[in-house]
Amino acid sequence: MAKGSNTQIKEKQTVGQNIAFVILCLLVVAFLYPIIFILINSFKGKFYISKNPFALPNSETFAGVTNYVTGLTKNGFLSAIFWSFFITIISVALILLFTSMTAYYITRVKSKLASGLYYLFTFSMVVPFQMVMFTMTSLADKLHLNTPIGMCFLYLGFGAGLAVFMFSGFVKSIPLEIEEASFMDGCNPLQNYFQVVFPILKPTTITVAILQAMWVWNDYLLPYLVIGLSTKYKTIPVVVQLLVGSNGNKDMGAMMAMLVLAIIPIVIFYLACQKYIIEGVVAGAVKG
């Protein structure tokens, strides 16, 4: 009887694993299909994309790299690549540095002020951007933040909530004995943080970096509202949108090609760091 029941359990487990495998394969196809769709249409003539968007390129519709050349030479896409990299790298660096230190202070200092700050950062995650975008735009103009450097500080403000929340959860799991030992060895608070605490935060740091980099790199609304369309500091999403003509005419071929180029850097970054995501998310969600 025991052997029969064990066999039945194993069979049920096998069936469940097969069903889960099929479901995961379907999800992979569902997530990859939009990327494949864009890639295929980036090599088709712009007049054939709307006519038959789901067909593979053939001798008649294949446009080679014409769409890529057109996209790169229109609306300053090359400069947009530079400004997107600049804003993304600086913004993520500021977020990682300041929010990790803030989370460390909030977690280690037991006071009403620290608790209040923590709840304010947590509350900021649920405030819709649409509620603050008009006042934020006006304030950014008055403070002359409508520059790439100003954009980095705006991203720091908007990205601080999630980053502080995740860092705080991880800091709570770090034993105080490690820090006490460093103080006994003669470390001051800054040395203790950068030489002891911050290296331990590596999983959450990489996770926060990935999440924030994907958000900043792909963001369209904030650069559009703050920097606008008429300056030389346009980012990639803004330049892609400019491929839509004033009369609604769209160069779909160039748009598809530029979307492919825009996806490549963030996909490479994600694949290089993706193994740390689950570890960092779980570590940042420990009970405090």
Residue 56 covered by a domain:
no
* Domain co-membership, 37 together with 177: no
CA distance 121 to 113: 12
* Domain co-membership, 28 together with 108: no
> In this predicted model, what pLDDT tens digit does every residue of 187-220 receive, in sequence order?
888 888 888 888 888 888 988 998 899 999 999 9
* Domain co-membership, 170 together with 261: yes
Residue 220 covered by a domain:
yes
Whole-prediction pTM: 0.83
Residue 57 covered by a domain:
no
* Domain co-membership, 135 together with 213: yes
Residue 55 covered by a domain:
no
Residue 211 covered by a domain:
yes
* Domain co-membership, 219 together with 278: yes
pLDDT-above-90 percentage for the chain: 20
Q: What pLDDT score does 11 carry? A: 65
* Domain co-membership, 204 together with 94: yes
* Domain co-membership, 238 together with 119: yes
* Domain co-membership, 8 together with 127: no
CA distance 267 to 214: 9
Q: What pLDDT score does 84 carry? A: 93
287 has a pLDDT exceeding 50 = no
> Which among 46, 49, 44 has a CA at the least distance from the CA of 61?
44
> In this predicted model, what pLDDT tens digit does every residue of 72-90 receive, in sequence order?
887 788 889 999 999 999 9
Residue 50 covered by a domain:
no
> In this predicted model, what pLDDT tens digit does every residue of 81-130 receive, in sequence order?
999 999 999 999 999 999 999 999 998 888 888 889 899 998 888 888 88
Residue 28 covered by a domain:
yes
Residue 59 covered by a domain:
no
Q: What pLDDT score does 154 carry? A: 93
Range of the domain at 37: 2-41
CATH number at residue 194: 1.10.3720.10
Structural domains in the chain (count): 2
Burial category of 154 from C-beta neighbours within 10 Å (exposed 0-12, middle 13-18, buried 19 and up) = buried
* Domain co-membership, 33 together with 115: no
* Domain co-membership, 171 together with 30: no
Lowest mean pLDDT among 11-20, 150-159, 254-263: 11-20
* Domain co-membership, 171 together with 205: yes
CB atoms within 10 A of CB 118: 19
* Domain co-membership, 16 together with 100: no
